Amino acid sequence: MNNKKAIIYKRVSDPGQLSGLSLDVQEEICRKWAKENGYDVVDVFEDGGKTGTKTVGRQGLEDSVNRCKQKDIDAILTIDTDRFARNELDHYLLKDELNKLGTQVIAVNQPMIDGSPEGMLLENSLIGLNAFYSRLIGRKVRKSLEKKWNDGVYPSWAPLGYKNVNIGTKDKPNRVIRKDPKIGPLITELFKLYSTGSYTYFKLCEEMQTRGLLARGGKMLCDSSVQQIISNTFYYGWMKWSGKEKMGKHKPLISKDLFDQCQFVAAKHRQFLTRERKHDFLLRGIAYCPVHNSRLTAEWHYYHNDKFKKPKIGYYHCYAQGGCPTSFIEVPKLERKVSNLLKNYQFSEKFIDLVVQKAKDNLNESRKSLKFKRQGIINKRRAVEKSRNNLEDLLTDKTIDRDVYSRQHSKLEAEILDYDNQLSKLDSQQSVDVGLIEEVLFFSRNIYKTYMEAPTYLKKHYLRFFFETIYVKNKQISKVVETPIFAALRRQNYIIIKLALLRRQDSNL
Higher-pLDDT residue of 42 and 167 is: 42
CATH number of the domain within which 63 lies: 3.40.50.1390
pLDDT value at 298 more than 50: yes
Same structural domain for residues 300 and 243?
no
Most confident residue range from 71-80, 144-153, 343-352, 460-469: 71-80
Measured between alpha carbons, how far is 437 from 434 in angstroms, rounded to an integer?
5
Q: Which of 302-316, 335-349, 383-397 has the highest mean pLDDT?
A: 335-349
If asked whether residues 265 and 125 sit together in one domain, one would say: no
Residue 420 lies in a domain: no
Cβ neighbours of residue 227 closer than 8 Å, sequence gap 6 or more: 201, 266
pLDDT beyond 80 at 438: no
* pLDDT tens column, 119-172: 677 777 777 676 676 666 667 767 777 888 888 888 888 899 999 888 877 777
3-state percent helix, strand, coil for the chain, nearest multiple of 5 = 55, 15, 30
| 103 domain-assigned | yes
pLDDT digits (tens, 9 = 90+) for 395-420: 777 777 777 777 787 778 778 877 87
DSSP 266: H
The domain boundary, picked from 242, 271, 300, lies at 271
3 state SS for 205-221: HHHHHHHCCCCCCCCCC
Closest alpha carbon to 425 in 295, 144, 231, 242: 231
Whether 19 and 116 map to the same domain: the answer is yes
Question: Does pTM surpass 0.75?
Answer: no
**What CATH number is attached to the domain comprising 243?**
3.90.1750.20
Range list of β-strands (E), 265-395: 287-289, 294-301, 313-318, 329-330, 345-347
- Residue of 305 and 241 predicted with greater confidence: 241
69 within domain boundaries: yes
Assess if residue 405 is contained within a domain.
no
Are 486 and 469 in contact, with CB atoms under 8 Å apart?
no
Nearest to 77, CA basis, from 36, 106, 48: 106
Confidence of residue 363 (pLDDT cuts 50, 70, 90): low
- 14 and 104 together in one domain: yes
Asked if residue 380 belongs to a domain, the reply is no
Query: Distance (Å, rounded) from C-alpha 282 to C-alpha 458?
Result: 10
Owning domain of residue 61: 4-138
Residue 393 lies in a domain: no
Q: Of 77, 108, 138, which residue sits at a domain end?
A: 138
In a 13 Å sphere around the CA of 370, the CA atoms on its Cβ side amount to: 19
Rounded (5°) CA angle 307-312-314: 130
How far from chain centre, in Å, is Cα 44? 36
Q: For residue 396, what are the CA distances in angstroms to 387, 388, 404, 410?
A: 14, 13, 13, 17
Residue 474 included in any domain:
yes
Same domain, yes or no: 185 and 266: yes
Whether residue 457 is found in the same domain as residue 341: yes
Sign of the Cα torsion 79, 81, 87, 89 reads positive
Residues 236 and 320 in one domain: no
| Average pLDDT score, the chain | 78
Report d(CA 483, CA 462) in Å as an integer: 11
On whether both 86 and 30 belong to a single domain, the answer is: yes
Residue ranges of the alpha helices (H) in 316-348?
331-341
pLDDT of residue 47: 81
Whether residue 487 has pLDDT greater than 70: yes
Task: Give the bridge partners for 45, in sequence order.
Answer: 9
- Indicate whether 330 belongs to any domain: yes
- Give the three-class secondary structure for 348: coil
Say which residue, 358 or 274, is predicted with more confidence. 358
How many distinct structural domains can be found in the chain? 3
Question: 240, 271, 302 — which closes off a domain?
Answer: 271
25 with 65, same domain: the answer is yes
Give the pLDDT score at 509: 40
On whether both 341 and 457 belong to a single domain, the answer is yes
Question: Is pLDDT of 212 > 60?
Answer: yes
Please report which residue ranges of 272-348 form alpha helices under DSSP H: 331-341
Residues 258, 293: one domain?
Answer: no
Strand ranges (E), 150-293: 162-166, 175-179, 238-241, 244-247, 287-289
Are residues 333 and 248 part of one domain?
Answer: no
The pLDDT assigned to 162 comes to 94
